[in-house]
Amino acid sequence: MTHEILTIGSCTLDCIINIKDILRFELLEEENVKKYTAIEYSKKLNVENLRFIPGGSAANIAADCAMVNLKSAYIGMIGKDFSAKMCLADLGSRGVDIDHINQTDEDKTAFSVILKSGWGKDRSILAYKGANDLITPSDIDEDLFKNVKAFAWTSLTRENSCKAIEKCIDLTNKYGGKVYAAPSMSIIKNSPKWVHKLIGKSDVLSLNYEEATALTGKKNNASILKDLFRKDLEKISITDGSDGSIISDGKTIINSGVYKVSIKDTTGSGDAFMSGIITSDLKNYSLEKSSKFASAFGAFEAMEIGVREGIPNNFDEIDKFIEENELDQVISELK
């Protein structure tokens, strides 16, 4: 089977917990304000709602792209537990090729506990990488890459798993595909050497604002972009929740707001944004339309509860949404 899109990285079962009876406080450290979610010691708190939802950035991107009828496959390592069964069933039901997922007895499938409070988009995540990080270069099949158009990687943190990502990047470059990087805080904090090396071998980079500041040490968007473009990237996007996004090709920078839609759940919206960028590139869209298209992908995801929900199964519906809904954009030169 020939694939247009391959992904590697996290495949996780998310346990989403809605809870009101939880504390939030802020600490001022020099000029920075840090926010904390807290549970009072030795207290039993009541949970309002509990959901198990397959997620993980790399798996989400593969699923989002498959749902718009692009041929996608996820490469990864999971366990042999109930979480694995749910993850495999969900990916398969959305049209993702799951034949390149290995299962192991050495560890459990990656698992995340997501605490959602009543404070808007605020959430705290307890993430266990589990079997995801057990993948090695020997698990990567070169034949899979011979006709691939796009390869996207997300966070893995161990030496061998990062080498597996590097092998995938090298194979994508060998066969003329484009490499998309979507590193999260886990690899930025835990494997700084590898995150810079892998980004340096990539073509397109997508981050949220927190990840971008942690990666560069800069806070101003223009300074962040200038720093990252030194890595010879073709395109960079930075999302910032309700404050919208920026996307740049190193010359032009497009600042976009967000579509005015009814937000139900922002979980997975960043991955949907990256999926929108990948599909835009495959359609050869302009930078301006790519920004609108990626923002629309994120909006569709946020309008439904759960991850991988709400994405239309055809491009016409997305184009119609873009035509009928206004998106504030400011286009300027990156100086």
Q: Angle 81-182-67 (CA atoms, 0-180°, nearest 5)?
A: 65
CA distances from 312 to 68, 280, 320 (A): 6, 15, 11
Tokens of 60: 């989400």
Closest CA to 257 of 327, 163, 304: 327
Closest CA to 258 of 244, 275, 241: 244
With beta carbons less than 8 A apart as the criterion, state whether 110 and 135 touch.
no
Strands 49-55 and 12-18: antiparallel
Residues paired with residue 39 on neighbouring β-strands, in sequence order:
none
pLDDT of residue 120: 53
60-93 confidence digits (pLDDT tens): 999 999 999 999 999 999 999 999 999 999 999 9
Residues paired with residue 76 on neighbouring β-strands, in sequence order:
101
Tokens of 118: 């009543």
What is the pLDDT averaged over residues 144-148?
94
278-299 confidence digits (pLDDT tens): 999 999 999 999 999 999 999 9
239-268 confidence digits (pLDDT tens): 998 899 999 999 999 999 999 998 887 878
Whether residue 122 has pLDDT greater than 80: no
With beta carbons less than 8 A apart as the criterion, state whether 30 and 104 touch.
no
In the chain, the domains with their CATH numbers are 5-20+49-333 (3.40.1190.20)
